[in-house]
Amino acid sequence: MSLWDHLPVLVVIVPLLAGPLCVLVERPLAAWGVALVAAWLSFAAAIVLAMQVADTGTISYELGGWAPPWGIEYRIDTLGSYVLLIVTAIPALVLVAAKESVVSEVPEPLIARFYGAFMLAFAGLAGIVATGDAFNVFVFLEISSLSSYALISMGKDRRALTSAFEYLVMGTIGATFILIGIGFLYMMTGTLNMQDLAARLPAVSDTRTVRAGFAFLTVGIGLKLAMFPLHLWLPNAYAYAPSAVTAFLAATATKVAVYALLRFLFGVFGFEFALLEMPFDDILMILGLAGILTASLVAVFQEDIKRMLAYSSVAQIGYMVLGISLASTTGVIATTLHLFNHALMKGALFLALGAVMYRIGGVSLRDFAGLGRRMPWTMAAIVIGGLSLIGVPPTAGFITKWYLVLGTVEQGLWPVAVLVLIGSLLALLYVWKLVEAAYFEPVPKGAATVREAPWSMLLPIWLLVGANIYFGIHTEVTVGLATQAANELMGLQP
Amino acid sequence: MSPEQLLTWIPLVPLIAAFGVVAARANPNLREGISIGAGVILFLLVAGLAATIDWDAPPTLVMATPVAGLSLVLTPEPLGMLFALVASLLWPITTVYALGYMRAHHEDNQTRFYTAFAVSIAATMCIALAGNMLTLFVFYEVLSVSTYPLVTHAGTEKAKRAGRVYLGLLMGTSIGFLLLAMVWTWSLTGTLDFTPGGVFSDEVSGGVLGILLLLYVFGTGKAALMPFHRWLPAAMVAPTPVSALLHAVAVVKAGVFTVLKVSVYIFGLERIEQLLVAEWLVALAALTIVLASTIALRQDNFKARLAYSTVSQLSYITMGALLGVATGAIGGGLHIAMHAFGKITLFFCAGAVLVTAHKSKISELNGIGRRMPWTMGAFAIGAISMIGAPPFAGFVSKWYLLSGALQTDQVIAVAALIISTLLNAAYFMPIVYAAFFLPEDDGQAHASHGEAPLPIVLALSTTALFTILIFFFPDVPLSLVQQMVGG
């Protein structure tokens, strides 16, 4: 077997090994270098994998040469390769910007460990996507969660500690639920391989155990996903974590949880059981809509911009959940598209907040007064990212809105379509609050002169901003992959 | 150049100009030179396209395909061609005017101003030449965003609040209603192309079509149909060249243009005529015409009076489109051009008075015509054209609108047209009278002024001249608009 055949595992192994290596080299700059190289290698591997999947279809990789169902199978299909692209691209870009911002936000002795934890979280997230084994999902979930707790607690603000603890409690409950759910499924089917589970579950799906397992799994994933009303840990965790961590987690962690939800609902249980037999589609729709509206509304009244965008994330998760609840191809396309597009917008926005934090030292609304003149490039990025969040054409956000509204209209769900659009208008409100502060408020008296952010920050920010516009106009790749993935997910069922 | 090449360059020229303006920010004369030069080139390109185009096989330019089966595409069509001609002709004239205005008024941030202006023109060109509803919508939104920095140019608290109303109403309606209408149409018919006779099959029920029409018409906030008109008076906080070109021509005409396109090419006039909802909307447009004119009558602020007059005149076009007969649509299409020349002249005059005499209230204008004969002379011409009297442009379109209304026996539309003509006269003529025949007030602060700066006089005389010329030579707009209905 050549190196190319090992790509499915390399995507995960490279960051996993880079983690301890970062801690071993100890010097901040060296640790950063190791992390950066590993992240870009992993990203390159993900690109090649995506091309391989596009050429030859789903890739199945036997870990250690053990054939499934005895060994662990890594299984990369279109959806997997697509999510892997996001999960590897975002940390690769975040790390470029992280060098400066981490030095200013994390105490120096901790920096090497910071990068170590960062790479472990990265490996965990990539692992969840790559693996085809249900128990393995849990293991990687724990790797990524434990390291995220550590990452969040390294924030400058002392409240980071309590919010990391809050997240730890909620996250552990979620992980336990997932473990219980997987255990129930194993009990009934005797297998942990997702393909096998999918084949064997229909025969026993009418049992209370499977249903209980289903409930545990979905609630557990819902916690990780920060699905309304299980989102309470998220705003604090995002608000107090170091900027680089927020950008990384906001753009990847919740996306991976959505992926896991899609995987279990469509790939393991099958959407007929998951959404139609269990009344889960209605539950998801109500929770999704409630998330969109309440979280957007709460976001409008936030003074801390990081927290505002965190609530916006909860709302955006609502859109993804809503797409799933439609139980139609268009709905799943909308969800998978938003997975990608939302990573682009939130990545850009949180990185830009990191730049503001780096120069101004805070990201509450009053710190933004007059920022349009002081940091024009950063603010312009925030405006474009915000427009994408609202869903203004020609940005990526518009494409998602289009498919989501189309999905609801196709099923005649008018009120839902209207609520989705109201959600967009709420986004207009909270984004514009920021724009008005930055361009209309005068610079506070006595404020130190501030220069534009360093190019190492502007470069990844503007790459993501550019991607927001590019994928709003040229959608062959995103819509193509999302359509293919949705067809595979929906087609799995006979 | 081939029509395809012309079509490619039309949106590119103003975009390149936007970059040129930024690059030349250190040298104001070069900067404005770029804007004017680009404007002249743009008009030549559009005119060249209009002259050489073969309406049976119009050129198309596919820019991208963001949604499967749905492209961003430019395809000229007669009405759009007319809109593009008007907007591109008035851009260089407005830039000449702006050159005089912005410098005489000592405005800040002029580079940002000219850049956003050029981007807005590029968006307007794409709206005018849009080949389907998606393209139109995309650039409609781009236009809303790119005009925001122009509206809020002053950067004051008042400008900020106006910006809120502006963007809130325009984006609120377009995202809330227009997007929904578009997605609904797409899911019903699988096409958003502008198709002569409309896109809906006979299976689509009248009730659904009625709701769709409501969504489309209210979704087009730029058409300023009541109750979604408040953004237009709010936008008057912008510098006068913006009010003149964008809020009398480009932005507002993009709105009524959308309404016309939707009625002619998405619904089809025959369908519109059968819809009960269309009659309600005609009544609402009639109400807007009369109410806005009445409000205009009570405005003492010069630009506010013009803004409410625009709200009223825009509903002429909306009404013409929704009458559901060819004559009405022709009248509406013509009025896009006719109102443009008249209203831009009026705004130019209001701005000229502001920078020269520092007066923004109508009650202060007594006797000003003797000091500024060119300006107030042009104002008189624009005003009479607005009222719709010959021999000025406004007469032609009003004639068609009135015959369209008579054809459909919609008494309310006929009545609105007649009443508003009287109201138009009532709110414009006193200004002309006061300017020329009343004695000047004593003890004024800026008593020693004369005529406005030369670029301003040049611009407003040119547009006034056009309102006369079009009355005598209405062939170009008329043939284009007839092509729209007949072809």
- Answer whether residue A10 shows pLDDT above 90: no
Does any CB of chain B come closer than 8 Å to the CB of residue A132? no
Which chain A positions have a beta carbon within 8 Å of B168's beta carbon?
A: 428
Which chain B positions have a beta carbon within 8 Å of A479's beta carbon?
A: 66-68
Q: What is the pLDDT of residues B207-247, one digit of tens each?
A: 888 889 999 999 998 888 888 888 888 888 888 888 888 88
* % of chain B with per-residue pLDDT over 90: 11
* Total Cβ atoms within 10 A of residue B48: 16
Which chain A positions have a beta carbon within 8 Å of B185's beta carbon?
A: none
The answer to whether B183 contacts A436, with C-beta atoms less than 8 Å apart, is: no
Which chain B positions have a beta carbon within 8 Å of A392's beta carbon?
A: 141, 145, 171, 175
Best of B140, B145, B161, B187 to substitute, by most chain A Cβ atoms within 10 angstroms, is: B187
C-alpha distance from A372 to closest chain B C-alpha (Å): 12
Q: What is the pLDDT of residues A72-122, one digit of tens each?
A: 888 888 888 989 999 999 999 999 998 888 888 888 888 999 999 999 999
Q: Which residue has the higher pLDDT, B106 or A162?
A: A162
- Answer whether residue B470 shows pLDDT above 70: yes
* % of chain A with per-residue pLDDT over 70: 99
C-alpha distance from A429 to closest chain B C-alpha (Å): 8
Mean pLDDT score, B341-365? 86
Q: B361 phi and psi, to 5 degrees?
A: -110, 145
The C-alpha atoms of residue A193 and residue A70 are separated, in whole angstroms, by: 9
Question: How does residue A494 score in pLDDT terms, banded at 50, 70 and 90?
Answer: very low
Mean pLDDT score, A439-449? 79
Q: Which residue has the higher pLDDT, A271 or B213?
A: B213
| Token code pair at residue B298 | 């009570």
CB B124 within 8 A of CB B147: no
CB A310 within 8 A of CB A369: no
The answer to whether A439 contacts B168, with C-beta atoms less than 8 Å apart, is: no
| Token code pair at residue B333 | 């299409």
Q: How many CA atoms lie within 13 Å of A88's alpha carbon, on the beta-carbon side?
A: 33
- Facing residue for B180 by CB, picked from A421, A436, A475: A421
Residue spans per domain, chain B:
3-486
| Nearest alpha-carbon partner for A100 in A472, A469, A342, A460 | A460
| Nearest alpha-carbon partner for A263 in A198, A172, A343 | A198
Query: Chain A residue with minimal CA distance to B157?
Result: A440
C-alpha distance from B459 to closest chain A C-alpha (Å): 32
Best of A430, A435, A468, A469 to substitute, by most chain B Cβ atoms within 10 angstroms, is: A435
The C-alpha atoms of residue B322 and residue B329 are separated, in whole angstroms, by: 8
**At A243, is the secondary structure helix, strand, or coil?**
helix
Query: Chain A residue with minimal CA distance to B173?
Result: A425
The answer to whether B66 contacts A432, with C-beta atoms less than 8 Å apart, is: no
The C-alpha atoms of residue A263 and residue A84 are separated, in whole angstroms, by: 14
Residue A493: what pLDDT? 41
Which chain A positions have a beta carbon within 8 Å of B137's beta carbon?
A: 393
CB-based burial of residue B443 (10 Å sphere; 0-12 exposed, 13-18 middle, 19+ buried)? exposed
Does any CB of chain A come closer than 8 Å to the CB of residue B207? no
How far is residue A214 CA from its own chain's centroid? 23
- Answer whether residue B68 shows pLDDT above 80: no
Residue B446: what pLDDT? 55
The answer to whether A421 contacts B183, with C-beta atoms less than 8 Å apart, is: no
Residue A127 to residues A68, A148, A245, Cα–Cα distance (Å):
17, 15, 19
Tell me the average pLDDT of chain A. 88
Residues 360-389 of A with CB under 8 A from B: 387
How many residues are recorded in chain A? 494
C-alpha distance from A250 to closest chain B C-alpha (Å): 26
- Answer whether residue A146 shows pLDDT above 80: yes
H or E element, residue B70: strand B70-74
Residue A463: what pLDDT? 93
**At B101, is the secondary structure helix, strand, or coil?**
helix
CB A345 within 8 A of CB A354: no
Mean pLDDT score, A164-181? 92
The C-alpha atoms of residue A119 and residue A11 are separated, in whole angstroms, by: 12
| Token code pair at residue A63 | 């870990």
CA angle at A162 for the pair A160 and A164, rounded to the nearest 5°: 65
Q: B453 phi and psi, to 5 degrees?
A: -55, 155
DSSP per position, A123-171: HHHHHHHHB-BHHHHHHHHHHHHHHHHHHHHTSSSTHHHHHHHHHHHHH
How many residues are recorded in chain B? 487
Residue B444: what pLDDT? 62
Which chain B positions have a beta carbon within 8 Å of A393's beta carbon?
A: 66, 137-138, 141-142
Residue A40: what pLDDT? 94
Residue B443: what pLDDT? 63
Query: Chain B residue with minimal CA distance to A415?
Result: B180
Residue A461: what pLDDT? 93
| Token code pair at residue B446 | 């800026």
DSSP per position, B226-285: TTS-THHHHGGGS-HHHHHHIIIIIHHHHHHHHHHHIIIIII-HHHHHH-HHHHHHHHHH
- Answer whether residue A2 shows pLDDT above 90: no
CB-based burial of residue A379 (10 Å sphere; 0-12 exposed, 13-18 middle, 19+ buried)? buried
CB A387 within 8 A of CB A431: yes
- Facing residue for B160 by CB, picked from A417, A436, A483: A436
Question: How does residue A246 score in pLDDT terms, banded at 50, 70 and 90?
Answer: very high
Residue B14 to residues A55, B19, B41, Cα–Cα distance (Å):
42, 9, 9
Residues 427-486 of A with CB under 8 A from B: 428, 432, 436, 439-440, 472-476, 479, 483
- Reported in sequence order, the residue ranges of A56-161 that DSSP labels E, i.e. its strands, are 59-62, 73-76
A-B C-beta contacts closer than 8 Å: 83
C-alpha distance from B70 to closest chain A C-alpha (Å): 11
- Answer whether residue A1 shows pLDDT above 80: no
The answer to whether B142 contacts A479, with C-beta atoms less than 8 Å apart, is: no
Rg (CA), chain A: 21
Which chain B positions have a beta carbon within 8 Å of A439's beta carbon?
A: 152, 155
* Total Cβ atoms within 10 A of residue B355: 21
Region of A361 (left: φ > 0; alpha: ψ -120 to 50; beta: rest) is: left
Tell me the average pLDDT of chain B. 86
Question: How does residue B445 score in pLDDT terms, banded at 50, 70 and 90?
Answer: low
The C-alpha atoms of residue B148 and residue A435 are separated, in whole angstroms, by: 11
The answer to whether B171 contacts A425, with C-beta atoms less than 8 Å apart, is: yes
- Answer whether residue B447 shows pLDDT above 70: no
Q: Which residue has the higher pLDDT, B225 or A279?
A: B225
| Nearest alpha-carbon partner for B110 in B36, B172, B32, B42 | B32
The answer to whether B183 contacts A390, with C-beta atoms less than 8 Å apart, is: no
- Facing residue for A440 by CB, picked from B145, B160, B172: B160
- Facing residue for A425 by CB, picked from B66, B68, B176: B176
Which ranges constitute the DSSP H helices of A263-328?
A: 271, 280-300, 305-325
The answer to whether B155 contacts A439, with C-beta atoms less than 8 Å apart, is: yes
Q: What pTM did the predictor assign?
A: 0.88
Query: Chain B residue with minimal CA distance to A439?
Result: B155
- Facing residue for A402 by CB, picked from B67, B159, B168: B67
| Nearest alpha-carbon partner for B246 in B236, B260, B257, B261 | B236
Find the Cα–Cα–Cα–Cα dihedral A435, A439, A440, A446, rounded to 10°. Answer: 120
C-alpha distance from B53 to closest chain A C-alpha (Å): 28
The answer to whether A479 contacts B175, with C-beta atoms less than 8 Å apart, is: no
Does any CB of chain A come closer than 8 Å to the CB of residue B68? yes
* Total Cβ atoms within 10 A of residue B64: 17
Question: How does residue A311 score in pLDDT terms, banded at 50, 70 and 90?
Answer: very high
| Token code pair at residue B433 | 């009278």
Mean pLDDT score, B355-378? 84
Query: Chain B residue with minimal CA distance to A411?
Result: B187
The answer to whether B68 contacts A418, with C-beta atoms less than 8 Å apart, is: no
Q: What is the pLDDT of residues A324-354, one digit of tens each?
A: 888 888 888 999 999 999 999 999 999 999 9
**At B73, is the secondary structure helix, strand, or coil?**
strand
The answer to whether A473 contacts B145, with C-beta atoms less than 8 Å apart, is: no
**At B59, is the secondary structure helix, strand, or coil?**
coil
Query: Chain B residue with minimal CA distance to A394?
Result: B138
